[in-house]
């Protein structure tokens, strides 16, 4: 599990552990990751998911893994003409290339075992676009296309690959953005959903846990929106 130290990632970790999954949290914020791990009897390892060699080393040392959840990511609210090539590289590296690296590292063991679950956390921005987040949306759209391709390549090997695409989820990070944007931004966020509210990390975690389970064995190459209907029809 990448990016499991806080927010949505920490909720996913708790849900997976409650379902009986032996969890390893890989995160740059190792102290926060250790705190989450201690509460659920999991393991935590420091990892920069943008470092291809480090990803392979951690998988070799801590694996094999039969479930992979890619949650590490970041956003940057800037209109496209205000971004730089350095911004693009940073956003694409963490949000897309890291997913490629971790999948590349874990797939051989899944293929050998004849069973695997890959769940990638994208965003409704990857399906709908994002005003002020074009590069982030491009990266998350890439995650969706990549996941479909991995599903096609590995369906005959007992491996499923799916995407969970959250909409506005009530996390401390989002709350800080809403505080800066005021009531107008909150209305825009909740108004974009059919249910008229923010989602919770536990609601995202429940979807991930289902897709990682045997119960989802006939589901692959799909994108499940956990967004209150924001992506309805996409």
pLDDT at 108: 98
Return all residues near 161 (Cβ < 8 A) that are at least 6 apart: 118, 119, 120, 147, 148, 150, 151, 154, 220, 221
CATH number of 7-226: 3.40.50.720
Q: Is the Cα torsion angle 146, 215, 69, 57 positive or negative in sign?
A: negative
* Mean pLDDT score across all residues of the chain: 95
* Mean pLDDT calculated for residue range 108-133: 96
Q: Is the Cα torsion angle 225, 230, 233, 234 positive or negative in sign?
A: negative
Residues 63-85 have pLDDT tens digits of 999 999 999 999 998 999 999 99
Q: Which residue from 134, 189, 138, 142 is spatially nearest to 163, judged by alpha carbons?
A: 142
Q: Which of the four pLDDT bands, split at 50, 70 and 90, describes residue 195?
A: very high
Query: Is-catalytic flag, 200?
Result: no
**Would you list the domain boundaries of the chain?**
7-226
Least confident of 31-35, 138-142, 179-183: 179-183
pLDDT at 182: 73
Q: How many CB atoms lie within 10 A of CB 81?
A: 6
DSSP helix/strand/coil, 149: helix
Return all residues near 104 (Cβ < 8 A) that are at least 6 apart: 52, 55, 56
Q: Which of 24, 66, 94, 136 is catalytic?
A: 136
Q: Is the Cα torsion angle 145, 150, 156, 158 positive or negative in sign?
A: negative
* Mean pLDDT calculated for residue range 134-139: 97
Q: Which of the four pLDDT bands, split at 50, 70 and 90, describes residue 188?
A: confident
Q: How many CB atoms lie within 10 A of CB 221?
A: 16
- Per-residue pLDDT at 110 exceeds 90: yes
- Per-residue pLDDT at 227 exceeds 90: yes
* Mean pLDDT calculated for residue range 23-32: 97
- Per-residue pLDDT at 184 exceeds 90: no
Tell me what percent of the residues of the chain surpass a pLDDT of 90.
89
């Amino acid at each position: 599990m990448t990016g499991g130290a806080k927010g949505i990632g920490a909720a996913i970790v708790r849900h997976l552990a409650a379902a009986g999954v032996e969890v390893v949290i890989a995160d740059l914020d190792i102290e926060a990751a250790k705190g989450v791990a201690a509460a659920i009897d999991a393991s935590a390892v420091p990892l920069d998911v943008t470092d291809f060699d480090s990803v392979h080393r951690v998988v070799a040392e801590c694996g094999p893994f039969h479930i992979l959840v890619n949650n590490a990511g970041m956003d940057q609210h800037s209109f496209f003409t205000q971004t730089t090539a350095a911004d693009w590289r940073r956003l694409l590296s963490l949000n897309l290339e890291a997913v490629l690296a971790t999948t590349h590292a874990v797939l051989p063991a899944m293929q050998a075992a004849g069973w695997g679950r890959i769940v990638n956390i994208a965003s409704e921005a990857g399906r709908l676009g994002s005003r002020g987040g074009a590069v982030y949306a491009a990266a998350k759209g890439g995650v969706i296309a990549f996941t479909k391709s991995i599903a096609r390549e590995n369906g005959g090997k007992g491996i499923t690959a799916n995407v969970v695409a959250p909409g506005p989820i009530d996390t401390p990070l989002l709350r800080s953005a809403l505080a800066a944007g005021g009531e107008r931004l909150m209305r825009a966020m909740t108004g974009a959903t059919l249910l008229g509210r923010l989602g919770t990390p536990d609601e995202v975690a429940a979807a991930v846990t289902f897709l990682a389970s045997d119960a989802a064995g006939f589901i692959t190459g799909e994108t499940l929106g956990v967004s209150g209907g924001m992506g309805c029809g996409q």
